Amino acid sequence: MDFPYSRLRRWPDVEADNLQAHDATDLLLVERALALGIDGREIVVIGDEYGAITLALTSAGFDGVRVHQDLATGRRALERNAEELGLAGFSSHELDATLLDGARLVLLQLPKALAELEETADAAARWAAPDVVLVAGGRVKHMTIAQNEVLGRSFAEVQAQRAERKSRLVVASAPRPVPSEPPFPVVAQHDGLTLVAHGGAFAGAKLDIGTRVLLEVLGLDGSRLSMGAHTRAESMPEAADPADPCGVVNGGEPSPGPIAVDLGCGTGALAASYALAHPHARVIATDRSAAAVASARATTAANGVGDQVTVMHDDAGSELADASANIVLLNPPFHLGSSVHTGAATRLFEAAARILRPGGELFTVYNSSLGYRAELTRLVGPTEQVHRSPKFTVTRSIRR
């Protein structure tokens, strides 16, 4: 099969010379599926970052392939690449029974987190056909014996294949009986804050250390922001371009209170904490990870602020209206998958600048070694350091 992998793009994800929209693992998974010859309606693809696996199969004539992608960027890239290549024959799903019901072959790009792998393997054993075969693949340098052990909790037979092109496949079959309740989401308590996490959510049910620093610096465990940001936000006029249902999504009605955005919300710790401290504010929590969004929704509900916080599966706040937010809280990532790349943070800085109103405030926490202050000043506005340790820096930027 001669599929034009080189025509695939990562857009709207970060694109750079050292970042591709496919790898050798994609090719190995496609080759295995072609060799098995299973009907497309019985094939599920999970973790297909930009559509390389799904579109190669549909191009080869497999119809009815079901796909789950955690990232909103991946979902948009798949749609865009399918349109560019004139391909169809697949459907997108969340990680649930509709994705896996009756599946006999599951193709999986191994996730970075063992917890995400555990949730995925359990889902396949729980909802797929009794004779399902799960074929997981990854780059050899990122694979571990622990991944086999996790697969072994849900499948009786786990066999690693010979490495090819610096990638390797692991074949899991004979699903084990599943417990009555899935292993995820998990719940943990942190000084009065309840965190709920699905397997693919960053840091799980732990309180990420960077988030913890930002919470402490802003005093979000108290009745107000320690630097008075909430008071300033309340004095600002209403959003000029309001929207749905919190006054920040295009096309809705204005919100009567200040609007705070947790950009890249993860499990929703910042959003829930802000809402608890400021019951009259409206809060938007947005993340490109479906696992994070499901976690944040569960977290806000568990803390009794589900009606105050709107959680959105979105790419860098792209669905939020320009100049609609009073405050943005941000703990940006510095990895893109397994690659260290600051482009993800830059996109979030640009997003914050767009959605903040003039005079609005961006509070950012980041690894001190990254030195983002100059970039924040350039992209957002005047930026001051409000906290610094050898590990983390917290800055406050005012939208010019």
- Residues 188-214 have pLDDT tens digits of 999 899 999 999 999 999 999 999 999
Domains of the chain (ranges, CATH numbers): 5-175 (3.40.50.150), 186-398 (3.40.50.150)
The overall average pLDDT reported for the chain is: 91
Separation CA 232–CA 260 (nearest Å): 12
| CA-based nearest residue to 211, from 293, 63, 332 | 332
At residue 322, φ and ψ (nearest 5 deg) are -60, 145
Contact (CB, 8 A) for 43 and 135: no
Answer whether residue 252 shows pLDDT above 80.
no
- Residues 280-333 have pLDDT tens digits of 999 999 999 999 999 999 999 999 999 999 999 999 999 999 999 999 999 998
Structure tokens at 211: 């988030």
| Per-residue exposure over 299-325, b if at least 16 CB sit within 10 Å of its own CB, e if not | bbbbbebbebbbbbbbbbbbbbbebbb
Mention every residue, 6+ apart, whose C-beta is less than 8 A from residue 129.
Answer: 42, 102, 103, 104
- Residues 330-340 have pLDDT tens digits of 999 864 444 44
Instruction: Give me the pLDDT at residue 221, please.
Output: 60
Q: E strand or H helix at 212, and its extent?
A: helix 209-218
DSSP reduced 3-state for 208: coil
Separation CA 326–CA 335 (nearest Å): 28
- Residues 94-145 have pLDDT tens digits of 999 999 999 999 999 999 999 999 999 999 999 999 999 999 999 999 999 9
Answer whether residue 254 shows pLDDT above 90.
no
Task: Please count the helices (runs of H) and the strands (runs of E) in the chain.
Answer: 12, 20
Instruction: Give me the pLDDT at residue 255, please.
Output: 52
What is the band of 342 on the pLDDT scale with cuts at 50, 70, 90? low
Helix axes 269-277, 290-302, angle to 10 degrees: 30
Separation CA 381–CA 280 (nearest Å): 27
Separation CA 142–CA 140 (nearest Å): 5
Q: Of 69-78, 250-259, 365-374, give the lowest mean pLDDT range.
A: 250-259
Separation CA 377–CA 336 (nearest Å): 23
Supply the pTM of this predicted model: 0.89
Instruction: Give me the pLDDT at residue 334, please.
Output: 65
At residue 289, φ and ψ (nearest 5 deg) are -95, 125
Answer whether residue 230 shows pLDDT above 60.
no
Instruction: Give me the pLDDT at residue 1, please.
Output: 62
Q: Is the peptide bond before 185 cis (omega within 30 degrees of 0)?
A: yes
